Amino acid sequence: MKFCYLTLLPALVFLSGPLLLSAQQGQAPRTPNRASYVLPVRKAQETVRLDGQLDEPDWQGAAVAADFWRVLPIDTGYAESRTEVRATYDNRHLYFGITCYERDNHPHIIESLRRDFVFGANDNFLLFIDTYNDQTNGFSFGSSAAGAQWDGTQADGGVVSLDWDCKWESAVKHFDGYWNIEMAIPFRSLQFKAGVGQWGVNFSRMDVKNNEKSSWAPVPRQFATATLAFAGELQWDEPPPKPKTSLSLIPYVAAQASEDYENGHSKAPRLDAGIDAKIAVTPSIKLDLAVNPDFSQVDVDQQVTNLDRFELFFPERRRFFLENQDLFAGFGKDGLRPFFSRRIGLTNPVQAGLRLSGKLDEQWRIGLLNMQTGTEEEYPAANFTVASVQRRVFARSSIGAFLVNKQLTAGAKDIPESSNSYNRVFGLDYNLASANNRWIGKFFLHHSLTPGLDDEASALSGNLVYQTEQWKLEGGYDRVGANYLAETGFVRRRGLHRGSVGVGYKFYPGSVKIANHGPSLRTEYYFDPDLKRTDEEWRAAYGLVMLNRSEMELSAARYYTRLLAPFDPTHTSGDTLATGSDYTWNRVEFKYLSDARKLANFTFKAGYGGFFNGQLFSLEGAVNYRFQPYGSIAINFAYNNLQLPEPFQDTDFFLIGPKLDLTFTTKLFLTAYVQYNEQADNLNTNIRLQWRYQPVSDLFIVYSDNYFPSPWMVRNRALVAKISYWFN
């Protein structure tokens, strides 16, 4: 079987080679030429005051990026909401001055004053900087009309991660008929190669109240405006100044009191302290260090009703693991990841860690992550290492190699016999991204090393997507060995072959109400190692998107499953469906998303049909009300009614989660979240107060508890206070 793995991957690449190469070389008719959208930037001769006035002589003499193109709801012609952008710099900062003109006197739509606001729910302006001209990685900064900041890193051609924060300044000022933004971005917060006088850049404005999204360099409407393949150019009068080596220290102190009533454990109040350090090794390589990190302020997970046979995925929320995560967690694909950082610190406390990441030059990126956990009762201490290297190829594609190593570090006598002393996964990934962004794909081959598991320990995958304004075609194949074990990863299923094909088409009628509509069809098959079918899904859908931003979709699906292990569809009864039994059922679903610009809006999805040997009716959604700009209240809900034959009983599962999100200012926030999960027999409360008293320096107070709903009894509760400060 090893021979099969090693021969299949070259075969896939060979068969798709002409297609991939043509995709790299092809140019879409609407892909803007980098030379056509150039914004010259000259060094400031005087001090730039950040007040939103834009009245300094350097602003008056700066070149202007104007004549933005419409992107949504249609992508033809110039934007009706006029925007102008200017740029200048000094030895420490890159400055942008933005003027957003108004078409009417309608009030702005502002969901909240929180940093990293929802792009599509606030009137705002964003900019995207490709400092290495690779059309793949970059940085993003922005501001809402209310002055809330937005920043993140970009990877994989422009996918924005908002889990990166840096110290930068901005000011917003409103005038009659327009509003200004001034931004000052420190060079030491960016990663770039010294001596290069051209950067990629694009600007995007979201005028929610007038339902218009626009960009400076045009972007086809099927792509995000953050897509760096369509960026213009920032042209320096001289290469930007090389920043000095910088060191940032972020110490914290946290006090915690908790009680575990369910297990009868009482913990004494605890005082913890730790420190993070950020070091610019070079202008393009950053080193992050953490000693005794604390994650008590992290948002609580949104609970779900579990009707699945396999492990549920809950995303990573700890900021240390999220920055530059594409170099670590970007290998593999959803459901087949060799590294999933949430496995670290799940049962054992994290004692220390480091992360080195960045670019060696325009072609090479590197990443190194090392974390050490302590011993916790029966769980031994362990060391986790992820090393990666990525090489850019063709126009925007890349080849990456990685190694993930988990090594138990406790003494041999402390390691349970059931534990593997080590687990390692290594592999190669090829990420395809064509010059015109129409072709995207991923091909990879991974192998795991675990004591006693030598054969069937590889994973192979190939997935390819072709997308135009009207068409979307996709296909994929996975092969996962029965002994492929990624203990620090997320692998939903092993011992399988999986194949999938999908096609979709969109009509753009030019209607005064309808933006687009169209059908889609997707099929997915699973086979066991002997190529016997285990699962099958056919899904046909028709979607409709309105110009007012509401959406709806009607779908019908047919499922087949042959169980490879006993399964309880309710996860509560203790009775199971037998191994080897098979089931076929049909299901219809309808979902609707209302116009999110309205103060009151909602989403819901309803489904009815079979479920294994019974019936399932489900209803889920959310109702939101926004009292802008100071916050919103939302109620998430889910209801599932399972009707199954003996020995099961008909079952109803309710899940409801009201959430209050208050943003008193751009620096003071309160979130209160209550979740009742009938399936888990749990009621959870989480209240979090955050005060950003200085840039990237916070005071958190977090209270959480869990209850048994019936009979009413507290399970546990905790109170945490944490303060951190960023020394720069």
Average pLDDT of the residues in 220-233: 90
The model's pLDDT over 122-151, given as tens digits with 9 standing for 90+, comes to 999 999 999 888 888 899 999 999 999 999
The predicted model gives 690-701 an average pLDDT of: 92
Which of the four pLDDT bands, split at 50, 70 and 90, describes residue 685?
very high
Q: How far apart are CA 687 and CA 340, in angstroms?
A: 27
In tens, the pLDDT along 397-453 reads 999 999 999 999 875 455 655 557 899 999 999 999 888 889 999 999 999 999 888
User: Residues 656-678: pLDDT tens digits?
Assistant: 999 999 999 989 999 999 999 99
- For residue 326, the model assigns a pLDDT of 83
| 3 state SS of 721 | strand
Q: Indicate whether 337 pLDDT > 90.
A: yes
Band (pLDDT 50/70/90 cuts) for residue 348 is confident
Is pLDDT of 504 > 50? yes
pLDDT recorded at residue 383: 94
Question: What confidence score (pLDDT) does residue 252 get?
Answer: 94
pTM for this one?
Answer: 0.84
pLDDT over threshold 90, residue 494: yes
The CATH code that applies to domain 31-236 is 2.60.40.1190
Backbone φ, ψ for residue 17 (5° rounding): -55, -55
pLDDT digit string, tens, across residues 160-198: 888 788 889 999 999 999 999 999 999 988 888 878 889
How confident is the model over 103-116, as pLDDT tens digits? 888 889 998 898 88
For residue 23, name the pLDDT band (cuts at 50, 70, 90): very low
- Percentage of residues in the chain with pLDDT exceeding 90? 62
| DSSP H or E run through 144 | strand 138-144
Q: Which residue has the higher pLDDT, 27 or 59?
A: 59
What is the domain partition of the chain in residue ranges? 1-20+310-500, 31-236
Long-range pairs, 305-311, Cβ under 8 A, ≥24: 305/638, 305/640, 305/653, 305/655, 305/677, 305/679, 306/571, 306/679, 307/569, 307/570, 307/571, 307/611, 307/616, 307/640, 307/642, 309/563, 309/565, 309/567, 310/492, 310/493, 311/490, 311/492
pLDDT greater than 90 at residue 41? yes
Per-residue pLDDT, 95: 97
Q: 11 pLDDT exceeds 50?
A: no
HEC per residue, 337-404: ECCCHHHCCCCCCEEEEEEEEEECCCCEEEEEEEEEECCECCECCEEEEEEEEEEEECCCEEEEEEEE
User: What is residue 195's predicted lDDT score, i.e. its pLDDT?
Assistant: 83
pLDDT at 27: 35
Residue 479 reports pLDDT greater than 60: yes
The per-residue pLDDT for 425 is 97
Residue 317's pLDDT band (cuts 50, 70, 90): confident
d(CA 190, CA 184): 12
